[in-house]
Copies of this chain bind each other. A is one copy, B any other.
């Protein structure tokens, strides 16, 4: 019987190649697919088109790939807190497209849900609207198009062999949307559970969107800005 379950990151990412587009889940360092990113670093593929809200943060996550100059272009909403990206932007070594975060998430959803374009007020009258079709509804809006990727790499708290996923707290962020938009979606999980262990009503992402899944290892789950009540 055909299975989606792979042994580890290396097995699941067997067909990467130079020049692919890769969507990577996570907000800052929260919910990033650590194992898959490390595997991409290990393989050393180049000219990656990265689509991720932050393209790494604080020298971690996708910044591991930036340091090795594996990323040639980035689509994201926020580059602050990512000195590796800022440096390569200033040096003209990377082509960065900034997208408003709500438009970013909706464009990814649109790709996954087969919506070919949508009108949003976000960005109207700003640099973001340049070259885009504008149209008046109750507010003036601009036309935005779907954002797809060859691979989506995602991390979830729990996943089953069909690829049903459950995310913890705010680690969900862009991940289920990217899982919908990736042509090949590769998921790593903290816990690989049995079919049926995630209650059918509480599946956050149905497994039909997932092509490959594996049990991740050695998670660092770094807290970027710890602020505590006693501070």
Binding site for B on A (CB under 8 A): 106, 110, 113-121, 135, 137-139, 141, 166-169, 172, 199-202, 204
Contact = CB atoms under 8 A, between A and B. Distances in A.
Contact of A167 (B110, B141, B201): B201
Of residues A115, A135, A141, which shows the largest number of chain B Cβ atoms within 10 Å of its Cβ?
A115
Contacts of A115: 106, 118-120
A114 B120 contact: yes
Contact of A169 (B117, B166, B200): B200
B200 A202 contact: no
A114 B144 CA distance: 14
Of residues A137, A199, A201, A204, which shows the largest number of chain B Cβ atoms within 10 Å of its Cβ?
A201
26 contacts: A106-B113, A110-B118, A114-B120, A114-B121, A115-B118, A115-B119, A115-B120, A116-B118, A116-B119, A116-B120, A116-B135, A116-B137, A116-B139, A116-B141, A117-B137, A117-B141, A118-B118, A118-B119, A166-B201, A169-B200, A169-B201, A172-B201, A199-B202, A201-B202, A201-B204, A202-B202
Nearest to A204: B201
A156 to B, nearest CB: 11
